[in-house]
Amino acid sequence: MIPEECPVPRVNECLVLNVLAHQKRRACSSDNALHLAPITTKIFNSSLRHQTVSLTWKFAKVSPIPKESPLNNCSQLRPISLTNIKMRIFEKFVSKQELSPALKSQIRSDQFAYEVEHNVTMALLKCQRYWPKWLDKDADIR
């Protein structure tokens, strides 16, 4: 629950329009996005204000997909979850507006998870740079 003294976060209609217009599958064209953005924004803001989302947004279709072929037993299956597009967009907004700032204040400079443009390659490059220095320090101590 959001404490009463805290302001309720709000979603911006321009951002919703931008996200709707640039969906990968082109579920809605730019013209449809213009009509859907105001309604979708009101629904998102209402969900934030009431701290709940529609029950239909919570449903997902889970399909078992084989990892390898031929399929011999159930352990070769992996679940693929198809969730409601509105819920994925809503989660993206909440994540960017609410969770990202909180995470950024908690992530140290030597951590690479949840950082924009940080990945495993960057972590390995940093290790490659510092490990020899650390090993040299340990050799000097002995």
Q: Are 104 and 98 in contact (CB under 8 A)?
A: no
For residue 31, pLDDT over 80 is answered with no
pTM: 0.61
Q: Long-range pairs for 126-134 at CB < 8 Å and ≥24 separation?
A: none
- pLDDT over 90, % of the chain: 6
The larger pLDDT score, comparing residue 40 to residue 105, is at: 40
Q: Are 38 and 45 in contact (CB under 8 A)?
A: no
Mean pLDDT to the nearest integer, 3-26: 78
Instruction: Please name the amino acid found at residue 139.
Output: A
